[in-house]
Chain A
């Protein structure tokens, strides 16, 4: 299994192809619906000139996300004396971020997006031009993935609610599969095409 360590270089990403299992380590950020809308409104629409109040977070996110990874996840967390702990942290359905993802990949120079269910043509195009991949985590594997989260480094925008905040986490051997690569290949499209062919055979008279 290919090991990926954040920060990830473009060369490493260009070498990945769909269907390949990977194991990811390093510091990444979670981000789902509210986080993506926030990044578009404050950083991307303003062409990198966010309002003063958002400057600090902008710089922090740029540092984490450049050659980095964003994870579509709304975790179950627990606050302990030692700080936050991830209890259950499986992926959420990614297609909801399709309107935003391409711009976020390009703006922050993201190398990977993790989620489930795959994404659309716009994201696939951004993966090709910017040198990024979509990594599919195993839906429902919440306990196992939570175990790969070794530290909660920071949390930003808690006002969005626990599932929607930016959780900056250090992961070790996070298991996923490349299902969209940087060469315009989508495993989801391939499997769908094959399944459609089989389906037609099964229902012909």
Chain B
């Protein structure tokens, strides 16, 4: 198998220092919509300037470079152990180059490993597929927004939320309201309905890899995504929780089969610094997106 370490370092550099175009467009649009002189407009102005500076100077957009989460699709016959080793190596190099902050702390000793390596760190999920290429999707998930991510078990009496999409709508809006500005709004929501608790959380994060304009093939879910986006913005929490028109920039939802006894709704909150990048390794060529 070809050596991919340097290519993965480049993938990390892109994710940490260059905000994807769809996120930049969404932030520009939000900036145009907020009132002149408002704290919301000022916050978005600062955010947009920061995004440009980070790109020009090749420095991290945010000092919290988060948990690196890799989703890897690979063809038959590729060693996932070798890919994993190269990802770990690439994370250490990216840390040395200050694309990543040393962010992996031993939960027992409190010691920082210094190179973003550790037990189940970084996060990697491997999926075998029929295509001949290897595809890497990387997301950097910050700690502030991870702390406001949450999971509900339906029915929820307090919110009068039953085991249906109306119940899902209710608990998701509750999560947005509880988060206020603490997840570094305006944010993007990844939502998963169903699964066991663990699978549900993973699925909710995977939703965040979808581009903002990606339309859900399931029409009921597409409608609910749009509705939650509108209603979340009606809460008026605004950028950084300063008040304003834009609290959410996107809502993406997926489902998993569940046990008859369980109905989980997981909400992955992603901050405005929605850092994701992908890389495709073909026979002779590596392309980034």
A-binding residues in B (CB < 8 A):
38-39, 42-43, 46-47, 49-50, 53-54, 57, 59-64, 98, 101, 142, 144, 159-160, 170, 173-174, 177, 180-182, 184, 231, 234-238, 240-243, 271-273
Which single member of B42, B64, B144, B234 contacts A21 (CB below 8 Å)? Answer: B42
Which single member of A143, A187, A195 contacts B242 (CB below 8 Å)? Answer: A187
Residues of B within 8 A of A99 (CB): none
Measured between C-beta atoms, what is the minimum distance from A14 to chain B in Å?
20
A1 to B159 CA separation, bound complex (whole angstroms): 42
B-binding residues in A (CB < 8 A):
1, 19-21, 74-76, 78, 87-90, 93, 116-118, 136, 138-147, 175, 177, 179, 187-188, 190-192, 194-196, 198-199, 202-203, 205
Residues of A within 8 A of B236 (CB): 191, 194-195, 198
Residues of A within 8 A of B39 (CB): 19-21, 177, 187
Measured between C-beta atoms, what is the minimum distance from B247 to chain A in Å?
9
A147 to B170 CA separation, bound complex (whole angstroms): 42
Measured between C-beta atoms, what is the minimum distance from B141 to chain A in Å?
13
- Please tell me if the beta carbons of B242 and A191 are within 8 angstroms of each other in the complex: yes
Main secondary structure of the interface of B (DSSP, over half): loop
| B244 closest partner in A (C-beta) | A191
Residues of B within 8 A of A93 (CB): 144, 182
- Please tell me if the beta carbons of A142 and B63 are within 8 angstroms of each other in the complex: yes
- Please tell me if the beta carbons of B240 and A143 are within 8 angstroms of each other in the complex: no
Residues of A within 8 A of B62 (CB): 88, 90, 139-142
A118 to B182 CA separation, bound complex (whole angstroms): 9
A163 to B104 CA separation, bound complex (whole angstroms): 15
Which single member of A76, A89, A145, A198 contacts B235 (CB below 8 Å)? Answer: A198
Sample (17) of A-B pairs whose CB atoms are under 8 Å apart:
A21-B39, A87-B98, A117-B182, A139-B240, A140-B61, A140-B62, A141-B49, A142-B60, A143-B53, A177-B43, A177-B242, A191-B242, A195-B180, A196-B177, A199-B177, A202-B234, A203-B170
